[in-house]
Amino acid sequence: MNKVEHIGIAVKSLDVSIPLFEKLLNCKCYKKEVVQSEQVNTAFFQKGETKIELLESIAVDGVISKYIEKKGEGIHHIAFEVSDIDSEMKRLSNEGFVLLNEKPKPGADNKLVCFLHPKNTNGVLVELCMEVRQ
């Protein structure tokens, strides 16, 4: 793992939260992107080397809707950048961590991603992400 690539924050409404985070971080949202596979609308901010990813559900029964229902808005996951997602997935699986997807899947912001089950990580949902070269 190289660094914290981004922190994912579950929000009810991007219309409300984008202006809020623009004020908080004093920078503009640089990208909005729908991720159909996760049923989310995302919005990105860049601060130094780290990004903030706001996540808004686009489905009533989507993962972010369910998360907000249970825990309210707030930090949803921490994403670490990896150079080789396949070998990192293998390493973590061998260490006893449970991967939520068997193969890397397309995520927002031109990434391949894999999530680890929070039951093995002190309740923290961890995302591995690797930049896809174009």
Binding site for Zn ion (CB under 5 A): 8, 53, 79, 127
Q: Is 4 helix (H, G, I), strand (E, B) or coil?
A: strand
Q: Is 133 helix (H, G, I), strand (E, B) or coil?
A: coil
C-beta of 78 vs 97, nearer to Zn ion: 78
**Which residue's C-beta sits nearest to Zn ion?**
8
Amino acid at 24: L
C-beta of 53 vs 81, nearer to Zn ion: 53
C-beta of 55 vs 93, nearer to Zn ion: 55
Q: Is 93 helix (H, G, I), strand (E, B) or coil?
A: helix
Min dist CB 5 to Zn ion, Å, is 8
Cβ 73 vs Cβ 20: under 8 Å? no
Cβ 82 vs Cβ 88: under 8 Å? yes
Min dist CB 8 to Zn ion, Å, is 4
C-beta of 4 vs 24, nearer to Zn ion: 4
CB atoms within 10 A of CB 81: 19
